Amino acid sequence: PRFRDPACSPFFFQVDTPMETSRPAGRTSEESAATSTGPLRPINLLTSRCDHPGASTSFKRDDTGLVSSALAMRHRPASLRLEDLGLPPSVVERFGERGVKTMYAWQRGAIDSASDGSNLVFCAPTSGGKSLVAEVLLVKALMRRGRQGRALFVLPFHSLVNEKSKDLEKILAPMYRKRTPGDGRSPVAVRAFAGETEGAPLARPLGCPGRNEIVAVTTIEKASVTISRLAEEGRLGELCAVVVDELHLVGEEGRGGTLESMLAKLRFADRRGACGERGNSQIVAMSATVSHESLERLAGWLDARLFITNYRPVELKEHVVNHGGEVFLKRAGGKERTGTGT
């Protein structure tokens, strides 16, 4: 995988691993290279590689314009157990009930890269485990704010909104249990907003009587309206995180403009300090289908760190079937016959 970190002028790399492929560390796109200021010092991958696939090394420029090495993560092997991420034990227990007790090395690397609250854009193949990274970073963002933080989880389709809200409710409910039975002022952990759902996301400030959700799972359109309303009311500081799934939709006609507008409003508010003393909201955006060059541009626009991995938990195999029903397995250097279809 490879990082880009605007705070480490200009790049933040994660060294390639045997099970993952990407462009060699130290190589950049023409656009990124044009933004660099000074020569890059060659890096010996054998000495820069950390002890585990999820570790990384950052490279910062010194006063001479050269790149000096500074460890961004520990050299010792990082634990891949969820219980070692500093999450509340009750949340770890809920993850365990879903059968998730450990993570892949790339997931640990992505989580560590944004655990300090930095914006993150990351890309991984379909079913590669992106949701776990987003959910863990969401929990960490809420923990940093205590009971004064709220979040948006933005998804493109109604069905996904309903499904994700149920999953997040199970995970976050222990963090926001009602203090006393029937306490109307205690917040609700998660609420879904899609289609004809009654009410508006994050409609009331925390502490007001009523059903005040901590995390609003919404469609793109409702999220955009919510950001505009919070900005008008001076309440953007309530947001500690905004998670966006299917970031590639920003390039589509119609809905892409709505998503772009929402993110642009967040970035403008952050740069103008409109979020107040509570700090800016962390943007975590993910996709499986954006090219690396486009991801670099999106990460630069969002002032975000970039994490890319090609790791697949399950091997992807391609087959070809001809008119005679023969099945061929596609492989490098040719095709291998595997059987006869029916």
Average pLDDT over residues 27-53: 32
pLDDT attached to residue 165: 93
pLDDT grade, residue 333 (50/70/90)?
Answer: low
DSSP states of 214-268: EEEEEEHHHHHHHHHHHHHTT-GGGEEEEEES-GGGGGSSSHHHHHHHHHHHHHH
Q: Please state, for a pLDDT cut of 70, what percent of the chain lies above it.
A: 69
* pLDDT for position 311: 87
**Nearby residues of 163 by Cβ (< 8 Å), 6 or more positions away:** none
- Please return the burial class of 184, using the count of CB atoms within 10 Å of its CB with bins 0-12, 13-18 and 19+: exposed
Q: Residue 178 has what pLDDT?
A: 59
Looking at every residue in the chain, the average pLDDT score rounds to 74
pLDDT digits (tens, 9 = 90+) for 46-100: 222 233 333 333 333 333 333 333 333 444 567 899 999 999 999 999 999 999 9
Is pLDDT of 125 > 80?
yes
Residue 8, pLDDT score:
39
Task: Measure CA 319 to chain center.
Answer: 32
- What pLDDT, in 10s, does the model give residues 229-269? 999 988 888 899 999 999 999 988 888 999 999 999 999 98
The predicted pLDDT at position 23 comes to 34
Helix (H, G, I), strand (E, B) or coil at 333: coil
| CA–CA dist 207, 183 (Å, integer) | 11
Residue 227: pLDDT over 80: yes
- Cα-flanking dihedrals φ and ψ of residue 242, to 5°? -130, 115
Contact in structure between 56 and 2 (CB atoms under 8 Å): no
CB atoms within 10 A of CB 205: 12
> Each residue of 284-306: pLDDT tens digit?
999 988 888 888 999 999 999 99
Pairing of strands 150-155, 239-244: parallel
pLDDT of residue 183: 53
